[in-house]
Amino acid sequence: MSEAADLRYPYPVEEPDVLRQQARTLGNLGQLLLDTHAEVDDGELKLTKSWRSDTATEAVADVKNLSSLMQGDSSALADAAAAVVSYVGHVEDARADIDGIRRRYDEAVDQLLHDNQHPPDWAKNRFLREEWRMSTQATFSSTATALDGERTTVLDTLTERSKGPLATLATVLTRFVGANPPTSMSLGEVAFERASHGLDLTGGRYEFQLRQAGLLSGASPDGYYAEWLANAERQGVDPGVLVQIARDNNLTPASFSVLDGLEKITDPQGKSFFVLPSDIGGDRAREVVLMTFILNAGTDYGEGTDHDFPIEPYSAAYVKYIKARQEANNWSYDDDVDFVHGNGGRLVATPNGILMGAGGNWLQGLYSQQGGTTYGDIFMLNIDDGDPIAAMRTAIQSGTSVYDDGNGGYRTGSLDLDRLLHHEERHSHQWADEGYGGFLASYGWEQLTGGNETEEEAGLGDGGYR
């Protein structure tokens, strides 16, 4: 369309895509409130603990409030969402009609210009040509006036058809966002803040933003997806980070199913480690490691302890880096997972995006020296005797390193496990950066020359060397 047509026949103010977003906002808020209400039954909680609201799980008054109010609020918000959808249809019809008006206006303009530049043969002198121009201008003006009237009719029709939906919407929005919502916040954000005020529904911010981005639908998720949201809240992660991770990795509740059925071991900070089955393949092991990293929403490295390096925030870029490192160290999944399990060792996926292992026969023991050794994405503790899973469970649940006690067992150390795993993760990066052959060559040269650059780059304090 021409600029002249845009100016003469502007669309209604509303953009359908913006309106659809508002409808999604209202529907998503209603779903959150409905799911919260579902956790309440006659003043008694169905669930002993909800990540959505500690207050709702602990205070009887809030439980009763939720029980009496949330169901109605959800229904009202669903009505408002439906009203917006209905209104969107009317707006789109009006915009389509105006599109036709604008096209015909441009056609009339083109015809006017053509006629003025190509007068008929009978208009041989200046006066006859002027008469012709006046006639063509009159024809154009008549057409434009008719089109103006059509646009007025379109807008009047839109107003009349929209009275019902807009009345429903106005009633609900006044209830939830007030007459003068803050202009710095979207409609959905205002509604969410107002509706959850006093109920401490803080966890819902994550679910709300994921729904708004079109990355989550249906009933509120449970299982490890809900645990992911809870971990993000515990770690203080910005909701936008989860949205970006979900978008970049096509993350859905089903993505976490790779962790289903695996033994989970929890450390003192609440982070989750997963025991790999001894018959697991390299591809699934890689998926378990990645999803374990995503699930934990942070490593707790440097939290309350000394640390050699700045704390790396949990982010979409960090997830991308983990995937790239896994690809560079693919041999440690394709070959070494089987090697460890085939020689009697066991492995667990860690929140750092690497594997930790223990146990094995004499051959496996050759590859694990001092406190432990990292190969690609696998860090093997130097514990060859006893139950390897029990040894790793002790390390995880105590939050400290473990060592062979020389008597067929193991003992806990004083080194923080988060620091140790960060140190070994940096070794994994070295393997990925230098490549299999390159790392072996550089490390072998260090041993011959008495250098210690590899350990220094991984952090001497984090690795327990000082």
Ramachandran region of residue 178, left (φ > 0), alpha (ψ -120 to 50) or beta? left
Name the strand (E) or helix (H) holding 131.
Answer: helix 126-177
State residue 204's pLDDT score: 64
Under-70 pLDDT residues of the chain: 13-14, 22, 26, 29-75, 77, 169-170, 172-204, 360-371, 408
CA-based nearest residue to 424, from 388, 376, 363: 376
Give SS3 for 305: coil
| CA neighbours closer than 13 Å in the CB half-sphere of residue 111 | 15
Query: What amino acid is encoded at 120 in this protein?
Result: P
Query: What amino acid is encoded at 62 in this protein?
Result: D
Taking residue 165's Cβ as centre, other Cβ atoms within 10 Å add up to 20
Give SS3 for 375: strand
**Measured torsion, CA atoms of residues 232, 236, 240, 244, in degrees rounded to the nearest 10:** -50
CATH topology of domain 3-191: Substrate Binding Domain Of Dnak; Chain:A; Domain 2 (1.20.1270)
DSSP for 156-185, written as a single string? HHHHHHHHHHHHHHHHHHHHHH-SS--TTS
Helix, strand, coil tally for the chain in percent (to 5): 60, 10, 30
Q: Quote the CA–CA distance of 358 and 406 in Å, as a whole number.
A: 15
**Angle CA(20)–CA(26)–CA(29) in degrees, nearest 5?**
135
The first and second tokens of residue 182, run together, are 């803050």
pLDDT tens sequence across 417-438 = 999 999 999 999 999 999 988 8
Q: Looking up tokens 């929890």, which residue turns up?
A: 266
What stretch(es) of the chain map to CATH 1.20.1270?
3-191
State residue 35's pLDDT score: 61
DSSP for 27-64, written as a single string? HHHHHHHHHHHHTEETTEESSS--TT-HHHHH-HHHHH
Query: What amino acid is encoded at 449 in this protein?
Result: T
State residue 283's pLDDT score: 96
Q: Are strands 355-359 and 378-381 parallel, antiparallel or unpaired?
A: parallel
State residue 57's pLDDT score: 42
Q: Quote the CA–CA distance of 189 and 220 in Å, as a whole number.
A: 18
State residue 440's pLDDT score: 83
> What is the length of the chain?
466
State residue 177's pLDDT score: 54
